[in-house]
Amino acid sequence: MAGNRTVDAIFFAAHADDIELSCGGTVAKFIAEGRRAGIVDLTHGEMGTRGTPQTRLRESQAAARIVGATFRERLDLGDGGLRTGRAEELQVIETIRRWKPAIVFAPWPEERHPDHARAGRLVTDAAFYAGLRRIETRHAEHRPQAVVYYLQNYIPPVTFVVDVSPTWPVKMRAIRAYKSQFFNPRSKEPQTFLSRPEFLEMIEARGRHFGAMIGTAYGEAFVTKQPPKIDDVFTAYTGREV
Ligand SMILES: [Zn+2]
């Protein structure tokens, strides 16, 4: 899990479990393909109705092991009021420079939850600034190739969908590692939108829906302002019909 080599991708999130819910199948797919991918949670989740920052840290480390993440780190930018000033920006810049990802994943900056939207803007800006040599931090400048947004509440027109059929069971196992957050009939904590059994059914339905868009069993959808280069248009549409 540790080590200080570079990674192919960093998945930034406002809260532990955001990544697993929205694109955990993609993380697991990257790892299965021999890529290196880390997860950075920008807050401790201290505003969550269920669990504590300590239980959420334990659960998030267990989930990271399940998807096979190269590392999982946590910053402390403030749950329920995520701060995006220069000091916070420099922490994200430093993280990007330390791990030198080719691709940075972030929440869509127009998301419903203000922490998600702020995280999306903060990471987008930091990914650019990380390439400016004159902004000095402990590590040298590094500019990722692209910022790609995963989807949470709002579903804008998607740019591409990743086939995550083989890793869908891994994603669901990682989600269930958050025992304090999701449906657990033995829990005595207050019920929330996330802890109702219907919530995990919605995640399943969304995976099926995005999968149907590309003709596969399960999919995870992404948005980016940088259109991907398609090497073979025909392969991209294999097995599909209008
Ligand atoms: Zn969140």
- Helices 18-32 and 53-67: crossing angle in degrees, nearest 10, is 30
At residue 186, the pLDDT reads 83
Q: What is the pLDDT of residues 145-175, one digit of tens each?
A: 999 999 999 999 999 999 999 999 999 999 9
- DSSP H helices, 11-68, are 18-32, 53-67
At residue 4, the pLDDT reads 57
Residue 15 CA to ligand 1 center (angstroms) comes to: 5
Strand partners, 162: 220
At residue 1, the pLDDT reads 44
At residue 39, the pLDDT reads 98
Q: What is the pLDDT of residues 111-146, one digit of tens each?
A: 999 999 999 999 999 999 999 999 999 999 999 999
Give one DSSP letter per residue of 106-139, joined into a string: EE-TT-SSHHHHHHHHHHHHHHHHTT-TTS--SS
**pTM score of the predicted model:** 0.95
Residue 53 CA to ligand 1 center (angstroms) comes to: 14
At residue 36, the pLDDT reads 98
How far is residue 193 CA from its own chain's centroid? 20
Residue 202 CA to ligand 1 center (angstroms) comes to: 16
Interatomic CA distance for residues 164 and 216, integer angstroms: 8
Low-confidence ranges of the chain (pLDDT < 50): 1-3
Residue 14 CA to ligand 1 center (angstroms) comes to: 5
Interatomic CA distance for residues 91 and 212, integer angstroms: 39
